[in-house]
Amino acid sequence: MRVLGINALFHDPAAALVVDGSIVAAAEEERFSRRKHGKRPVPFSAWELPERSARWCLDEAGLAPSELDAVAYSYDPALARPAAELGLDDPWDHLRQEYARRAPEFLAEALPGLDPAKVRFVAHHVAHAASAGQASPYPDCAVLVLDGRGECGSHLAGRYANRELTVLRTQALPDSLGLFYEDLTDHLGFLRSSDEFKVMALASYGSPRFLDDLRAYVRPDGPGGFLARPVPWSTLVPARAPGAPWSQGHADAAASAQACLEEVLLELVRWLHDRTGEEVLTLAGGVALNCVANSRLHREGPFRRIWVQPAAGDAGTALGAALHVAHAKDTVAAMPTAALGRGWRDEELRAWLERAAVPYEEPGDIAETVAEELARDGVVAWFQGRSEYGPRALGHRSLLAHPGHPRNLERLNAVKGREEFRPVAPMVTAERAAALFDGPLPSPYMLFVHEVAAGWRERIPAVVHVDGTARIQTVDRAEEPLTARMIDGFERRTGLPVVVNTSLNTAGRPMVDDPRDALEVFGSAPVDLLALGPFAVRRTGVFA
């Protein structure tokens, strides 16, 4: 069965293709359009479809739209109710619903040859759930979905048995942990439905002194449920204008919201464990991208193992919807990797460099060349293999640096144009991780934070956050031999088994996806070396 999954209605439009139960391709539209998150989450943009990513998925498999057995759309307008009935202030939501109802027509126009009758609506939170429970390596597991909103709810708790979902609890709107965190994001001067991770980072600089106040609005409420109503943030801390300096009060508000969120999540997972008895918890929905909360669930929660969908936000519902529909006829396979996007053959990469007329080298081993540059304290743009699905750079579209120099955090944030309080991440081989970091291992998708061992904090200061933690990525050398070899080469030269890894992009722009994007970043930012597949482009060679 050939199923194309589509996420389009709210934000992070994406497409994914599942053929005979196996994931063939998945990509976010922002990587093609170069618009961060693809579009803003407003009703007037709901008609926009991930046309480019959908066409690429089909091209990757050599399929025409007419050859699809189904298109799975990750929202079911039949389940929706008017926003006013849901307690939401969204006067144009009816426009969003109309666009959803007409999605089959829009898709048939965007993908000529597609029969609109093949479009199947999948409930938003069921699509999120499938992106975790059906994509994970665990056919039997508990699943928890939390985000801003779906058709009429913000939460789903359930159980997968042999990849088959049983829904145990949902939470009706307007109660929403996602909207609670989004509201604070906006109050703190960041971009709603985009910059929630900045609030999480800022929380480490504050103390949860407003926690008691927040519990009046956000708290567990009944078996497996919660209350999450709008918080009058202005009574606690003044709003911050975008771009203005942040105050201690802003950091304390972030810390309080983070602590409040974690309290509710712990109660939800304890209830879910009691109901299911499962050892494994899978997570999806935008809230599941909160790696600090995920780590607390691992430390204090009852589940033995937690698996988080790397594209846990709405982009992941394209994959989840496709898996949910495919499961009706095929045995679906686990997600093999997050590297499900575009890739180029070496000959194609060479052609890009020749077309750009930049001098380049073809060293015997690009991993050793990069390790040498990093050991000299150079900044390296690392472009290798297929691009990642989801918001994290996982060693395919990354900026790399030396972790032993404290100034490299400030240096990379300056390169990327980011806020000074934002941390960067360490990349470490899986077999070395336990000696340096305490937390859930392996951690290949950068979705947990780990305590940095005391003996290592002074040795790798660039990747240690203000609270002594790091959001690590572990590298399995069997799956990522080139990256592992680069880290090994760096350790031989420096004694440090860690390199800095942050996403290859600049502020406000999506992660680099194709070679043109990589060359543009290299040309516009102070990057010392671009490793484009097996080729090396040096700044001194281009700008001498």
Token pair 């299911």: residue: 276
Using CA atoms of 118, 64, 47, 157 in order, give the dihedral in degrees to the nearest 10: 60
Token pair 């009703």: residue: 43
21: left (phi over 0), alpha (psi -120 to 50) or beta: left
Give SS3 for 313: coil
Give SS3 for 495: coil
Task: Count the helix, strand and coil residues of the chain and give each as a percent rounded to the nearest 5.
Answer: 40, 20, 40
Active site residues: 11
Give CA–CA dist 55/127, Å, rounded: 21
Token pair 């991770």: residue: 197
> By the 8 A CB rule, do 39 and 46 touch?
no
Tell me how crowded residue 64 is: count the other CB atoms within 10 A of its CB.
12
Give CA–CA dist 544/129, Å, rounded: 52
> By the 8 A CB rule, do 368 and 412 touch?
no
Give CA–CA dist 203/286, Å, rounded: 18
Based on DSSP, count helices (H) and strands (E) in the chain, helices before strands. Answer: 19, 22
Nearest CA-CA partner of 397 in 447, 343, 476: 343
Specify the DSSP element, H or E, that contains 517: helix 515-524
Strands (E), 349-485: 380-383, 397-401, 425-429, 437-438, 450-452, 469-470, 473-475
